[in-house]
Structure 1
Amino acid sequence: MLHRRAAPSSPLAVLGLSALGIVFGDIGTSPLYTLKTVLSLAGDRPTADVTLGLLSLILWTLIIVTSLKYVTVAMRVDNDGEGGILALMALLGNKRHKRPAIIALGLFGAALIYGDGAITPAISVLSALEGLTMATPAVTSYVLPAAVVILIGLFAIQPLGTAAIGRAFGPIMALWFLAIGLLGLWGIVRHPGVLVAIDPLYGLRYLATGGPGGFLVLGGVFLCVTGAEALYADMGHFGARPIRLAWSAIVFPSLVLNYAGQAAIVLEGAPIEDNIFYRLCPAPLLIPLVVLATLATIIASQSIITGAFSMTRQAILLGWLPRLRITQTSAEGYGQIYVGAVNWLLMAVTVGLTIGFGKSDNLAAAYGIAVSLTMLMTSVLLFIALREIWRWSLLASGALAGFFLVVDAAFFVANVAKVFDGGYVPLLLALLVYGVMFTWHRGVTAVSASLHEALVPVDRFLAEVEAAGVPRVPGTAVFLTRTSCDTPPIMRWHVQRNRALHRRLFVLTVQTQPVPWVQDGGRLTMEEVAPQFWRASARYGFMERPDIPALLRQAHALGCGVDLDDVTYYIGHETVVRREDGRGLPGLQERLFAAMERNGTHVTDFLHVPPESVVEIGRQIAI
């Protein structure tokens, strides 16, 4: 019944190049601020042992978190080709029956990504532009306004779509990784002894002798992998092989060389008061490098925005967010979408953070805590996946996932120290998003329960229609309903108000499955529950777009007597009110859900129903 979406047909190398621009923007621009932040956390001028210890921690964090956890393990645990914490939650949360703890874990992890997603564009663009101050100190006061202008411009062009711009993302990022790799190599040549930091004992020795302050440095070290979650989340766009190829052949070597090169010039005596990354660059090439870094950070920011749009669509289709208007900006790819509400809210938060924090150093204090908690939750879900999907023993699953949990927990605890320095910002944003998700889902569940309280069997309803002499008019009436049995309430209300009923009746329930794609052959099931009265259920994956007219054509082909030339769609326009018996939702949740219900996108847009053929019937639902 289910099938994996066809793999992209482009050559592996081409897909790998494309992945550079979409998947690796965030982690690829982390050298702009990671070592600078780590050195500031380490205190005064670091000794050689401290510098080598910090570099060793960065290198092994890249190896353990990105190469081992995500590239090697997580990307083998997919939901019909899709990755990311929401796809993993959908796979595990409904594997046997509803599992609230797993669902809550996945949802909060997704909410946390929104929180840090607002910080990524701000810290990336600011870090890139701050390189200008090294070339021309007089421009220092213009860095913040320039960053704000770039960010506003980036969000402003989103409604236009990014298909054309996206074609250039891969080559630009390829140039970026080539540049940072060569710069790092230049630094290593000047001090080759830095390569001994590949020995993990240097990092472990630093943690063992650095005391509490040495442990808290992990909060800065973690910045080198803040984009690792994107490798897993974007797997469905390119497939696992191109992402692994790009990481292993280009991204990982370039990052290792650059971090080692930065540490090498610190060992050589370079000043650490400003941005170490730009100290690697020869003076004549500094301005071109700033331009390239700015382009790379814009691409990284674009990837974050696109990821927020995709995650929002998944959450809507899974029933965890209200319907929002989703615009397909390109016919070339399903991922080319635009969600206006998310775009403008994300812009407001990102620009606000940029102005509020002012410098990338200040933003680094707020950055990482949300992603570290998301990674911790992903490790918990991976443990369940190893047991239930891979069928590993408890000992083997516990050993591997436990290792990841220990590493993730260490980074999270180190990042907790940032809470009062700005780390509360992404956490508050995540709590707000999670509150919206939780309230919406509770409201939808309460509405469904209310509708099921007054269902009438089909044979009794039709007998009442005949006894009342209700005329049966030509044509087909399609009733869209949440109920999966008996007579839908909207049909009864239609007869009560309009005193007529079509001869052909088609009752349709649209369900989103916890898988990304549903095979056409298993999409539609229907039965004729009474003469000329069909009840149908349509199943879509959380990566698909419902299309009701197409479903009716499929139903007609399967033998249902739907008159495709004379179809009227009946949809309920719900007004949510509070229950009088005291058994409904808490007052605040009821009011918030009612507000979201009023302001959500109309169901006709969401289900692609032709508006000229729709009849709305107002109704009050007590929850």
Structure 2
Amino acid sequence: MNVSAAGSAEIPVDGQQPPHGHAHGSLSKLMVGAIGIVFGDIGTSPIYAFRETFAGHHTLRPDALHIYGVLSLIFWSMLIIVALKYVTIIMRADNKGEGGSLALLALINRSAAQGEKKKWTMGIVMLGVFATALFYGDSMITPAISVLSAVEGLTTVQAGFAPYVVPTAIGILVGLFAIQSRGTAKVGLLFGPIMLVYFATLAVLGGVHIVKHPAVFLEMLNPLNAFKFYFAEPLPAFIAMGSVVLAVTGAEALYADMGHFGRRPIKFSWLFFVMPALLINYMGQGAMLLSQTPAEALETVKNPFFFLAPETLRLPLVILATLATIIASQAVISGAFSVTQQAIQLGFIPRLRITHTSEHAAGQIYIPVVNWALMVMVILLVVMFGSSSNLAAAYGIAVTGAMLIDGVLISVVLFSLWKWPAWKAIPLLFIFFTIDILYFGANLLKVPDGGWFPLLIGAIAFTLLTTWAKGRKLMIDRMAEASLPIEVFIKSAASSATRVPGTAVFMTTSMTGVPHALLHNLKHNKVLHERVMLLTVRIEDVPFVIGDRRIETKDYGSGFFRVILRYGFMEEIDVPAALAKVKGIGTVCKMMDTSFFLARQTLIASARPGMAIWREKLFSWMLRNAESAMEFFKLPTNRVVELGSQVEI
């Protein structure tokens, strides 16, 4: 849905396709960049996924039946969920080159607004918003479990390091969040090479042990091993899926980060480098356990990833793994900034202060409120849970919930947008939903052990997002009820009011009627400027808006003009820069001769139909704490006048 400057839903406008925001360069260069940014989350899963399946809260004996069954589940999950569902199908559903739940939601809503499947719109919006809400829970757990699991590798070097694991992890995380305001452009140059070394190390360590037990290769590829595990021990196999899914956490990041690199670099990097390296490492962990006595395997399975390396190389492996988890955490934090920016532009979150940390890369942003809130929650998680094994109990439910929702959204895309025939779509969707439901169901068993945390965060975020969107719409509707037609106003006021030199720009969310700020200004100051512009900023359902679609003007006569500025949901809004390019309104706008008038509403909670009182009060609190429109739209501070009014919703 299109969103106006204040966050109200509008109907999108068709037009030419804007350019995507992908990085430019050779395929190999983009692949290295994608390996450094996109695959951090899923790439660090071998550190804890295999361990948690066997030595987590629900243990399994590390014998042939269980090892081959788990390896088979990991292989086919990666193949079906990541390679087929996300890389092959969902990544084709891009919104002008951008991916992610909100981009997919905007794509579907644009189709709905054009007359297709309108009855699905509200339910689809709620699902997309809930997937976004779950993402915030995931973005808190990922840095905590990743860094903590890597630092725990120190105990495989020297058991005496155990008391220092949590403080070290906290120190690393605090440092990571502290540098966010400086941007990641320079550090990002190192991400690709470090992750290349990391994935190559995964493959080498795994390959060394596969040579000692080569049968593990064919056994992993054999889907019958997964079924044997299920038939032999149905309940333990179902419970084990709650940990096996940790091997594919981060799959949704491939889709969300598509806008940075494009589909082909991510696809090729996954199929020809990342997935083989991960599978070889998982096979190596299984082969190592199968090569040991039962007593040795029971000890090794407590941290099989680090035991892959000989003792002399274990400390370098811990350092490399820690660097990889820092990179994975950085990607999640940057993703939280990006998702928040999209949510602000699409009208689900109040305006927040956004700082651009790069003059060249528009996607590199920093949002202080999100950064420090994430840091506090991540530190609390590390302290509360104390170990990556305990955190693993909380991890997965947000990811599997988001995967399940993505399945619903892609179903709409297959039938409504792409017009796939039923015989082609239904079997594929049946496979996806069967796997997603099994994984989500297995993770529901984790709720008492910590799975409640991401669900709680998701519920809070969902409440905030929907309250803001609903409250903003109600407020605009209430203000429109008393709106005066602009033509009537011009006829009555233009001839009688005193006109003063200069330009007055009145920011308004409505395309009709007279802005409240204009009425209040005339009432109190008794004057009108020679040129009066009614300015609306609209956020489109596309990432970028270019060309003639950016600016639209209408001349009402008597010095009154309506100007519409359109931006994509991935773009930075700069009103003064845009006004300098506006044509058809007389002379060029000079900031020293222009005054911007903003309306600041004070809400009065009431029993009128719309929202519950507690949600009205919550919305009022969010409105009071929103970033100033002056800063959000980059208006010159010495040229802004704010006029207040009271609105009862």
Q: TM-score scaled by structure 1?
A: 0.97
Work out which of the residue numbers 242, 245, 248 in structure 2 matches 1:222: 245
1:181–1:257 CA contact under 8 A, matched in 2? yes
**Aligned pairs (5 A) from 1:240-319:** 240-269=263-292, 270-273=296-299, 274-319=302-347
1:82-161 map, 5 Å: 82-97=98-113, 99-161=121-183
For 2:208, the equivalent position in structure 1 comes to 186
Alpha-carbon distance in structure 2 between the residues aligned to 1:433 and 1:520: 36
Moved more, 545-554 or 441-450: 545-554
The 1-side partners of 2:645 and 2:457 are apart by 34
Separation of aligned partners in 1, 2:455 and 2:529? 53
SS at match of 2:111: coil
Is the counterpart of residue 239 in structure 1 residue 254 in structure 2?
no
Q: Find out whether 1:406 has 2:457 as its counterpart.
A: no
- Please show how residues 2-81 of structure 1 align to structure 2 within 5 Å: 2-5=17-20, 7-40=22-55, 43-81=59-97
Deviation at 1:559, TM superposition (A): 5.0
C-alpha distance in structure 1 between counterparts of 2:482 and 2:424, whole Å: 51
Q: Which moves more between the two structures, 230-239 or 486-495? A: 486-495
Are the equivalent residues in 1 in contact too, given 2:580–2:589 (CA < 8 A)?
A: no
Q: Which moved more, 1:398-407 or 1:146-155?
A: 398-407
Letter in 1 for 2:439: F
Corresponding letter in the other structure for 2:598: I
Q: Which residue identity does 2:265 align to in structure 1? A: P
Say whether residues 1:607 and 2:636 are aligned partners.
no
Per-residue CA deviation, residues 252-284 of structure 1 (Å, 9 max, x unaligned), is 110010000000011112434420001110111
| 1:207 has 2:207 as partner | no
CA deviation after TM superposition for structure 1 residue 23, in Å: 0.4
d(CA) in 2 for partners of 1:618, 1:527? 27
Secondary structure in structure 2 of the residue aligned to 1:539: strand
Residues 120, 301 of structure 1: 8 Å contact kept: yes
Q: 8 Å contact 1:451–1:483 — kept in the other structure?
A: no
Decide whether the 8 Å contact of 1:93 with 1:100 is kept in 2: no
Partner residue, 1:555: 582
Gaps of at least 5 residues in structure 1 are none
- What's the counterpart of residue 12 of structure 2? none
Counterpart-to-counterpart distance in 2, 1:401 and 1:611:
53
Deviation for aligned residue 1:78 = 0.4
Q: Distance in 2 between matches of 1:72 and 1:536?
A: 42
The amino acid of 2:54's aligned partner reads L
Q: How does 1:421-432 map to 2 (within 5 A)?
A: 421-432=449-460
Aligned mate of 1:541, from 568, 575, 585: 568
1:101–1:229 CA distance, 2 compared to 1 (3 A) = same
Residue 292 to residue 618, structure 1, CA distance change in 2 (3 Å): same
The question of whether the paired residues in 2 share the 8 Å contact of 1:476 and 1:562 is answered with: no
Moved more, 546-555 or 320-329: 546-555
Correspondence for 2:444 among 416, 436, 450? 416
* Matching residue's letter, 2:151: L
Q: By how many angstroms is 1:402 displaced?
A: 2.4
Question: What is the aligned partner in structure 2 of residue 327 from structure 1?
Answer: 355
- 2:189 counterpart of 1:167: yes
Percent of matched pairs sharing the same residue: 44
Paired residue type of 2:396? G
Contact 1:328 1:337 in 2 (8 A): yes
Residue in structure 1 matched with residue 553 of structure 2 by the alignment: 526
In structure 2, give the amino acid aligned to 1:47. Answer: D
Gaps of 5+ in 2: 1-14
Note the alpha carbon deviations across 1:439-471, whole angstroms, 9 max, x for none. 10111101110110111122321233256x321
CA distance in 2, matches of 1:584, 1:378: 30
User: How has the CA–CA distance of structure 1 residues 363 and 12 changed in structure 2, closer, same or farther, with 3 Å as cutoff?
Assistant: same
8 Å CA contact 2:503–2:594 kept in 1: the answer is yes
Q: Structure 2 residue aligned with 1:434, among 462, 465, 474?
A: 462
- Secondary structure of the residue aligned to 1:345 is helix
For residue 570 of structure 1, what is the aligned residue in structure 2?
A: 597
Q: 1:106 to 1:548 in 2, by over 3 A?
A: same
Q: Is the 8 A contact 1:58 1:221 kept in 2?
A: yes
Cα deviation, 1:56-92, whole Å, max 9, x if unaligned, reads 1111111111111111111111000001111001111
Alpha-carbon distance between aligned partners in 1 of 2:340 and 2:445, rounded to the nearest angstrom: 30
Secondary structure at the residue paired with 1:483?
coil
CA distance in 1, matches of 2:610, 2:346: 23
Partner of 1:381: 409
- Aligned partner letter, 1:601: E
Over residues 13-69 of structure 1, what are the superposed CA-to-partner deviations in whole Å (9 max), with x where a residue is unaligned? 111101111100000000000000111256353321221111111111111111111
Residues 95, 543 of structure 2: 8 Å contact kept: yes
TM-score (norm 2): 0.93
Task: Give the structure 1 partner of residue 613 of structure 2.
Answer: 587
CA distance in 2 between counterparts of 1:427 and 1:462 reads 53
Instruction: Describe the shift of the 1:54–1:584 C-alpha distance in structure 2 as closer, same or farther (beyond 3 A).
Output: closer
Q: Deviations over 1:88-127 (max 9, x none)?
A: 0111123223611111000000110110111111111111
Q: Distance in 2 between matches of 1:117 and 1:318?
A: 20
C-alpha deviation, 1:6, in angstroms: 5.9
Distance in 2 between the 1:211 and 1:459 partners? 72
Matching of residue 479 in structure 1 with residue 502 in structure 2? no
8 A Cα contact 1:578 1:584, kept in partner: no
Give the superposition deviation at 1:7.
4.4
Aligned-pair CA distance for 1:531: 2.7
| Distance in structure 2 (CA, Å) of the matches to 1:402 and 1:532 | 61
CA-to-aligned-CA distance 1:522-573 (integer Å, 9 cap, x gap): 11111112332111222211101111112212213x4544542511111112
Contact between 1:31 and 1:259, CA under 8 Å: does it hold in 2? yes
**CA apart distance, 1:516:** 0.9
Distance of 2:287 and 2:423 partners within structure 1? 41
**Could you report, residue by residue, the CA deviation over 1:465-511 in whole angstroms, capped at 9, with x for unpaired residues?**
256x3210111111100111122221111100111110111101111
Which moves more between the two structures, 409-418 or 397-406? 397-406
8 Å CA contact 1:115–1:430 kept in 2: the answer is yes
| Equivalent AA in structure 2 for residue 48 of structure 1 | A
Instruction: Name the SS for the 2:479 alignment partner.
Output: helix
| Higher mean C-alpha deviation, range 108-117 or range 7-16 | 7-16
How far apart, in 2, do the equivalents of 1:29 and 1:509 lie? 45
- In 1, the alpha carbon distance for the partners of 2:572 and 2:419 equals 33
Whole-Å separation in 2 of the counterparts to 1:166 and 1:284: 30
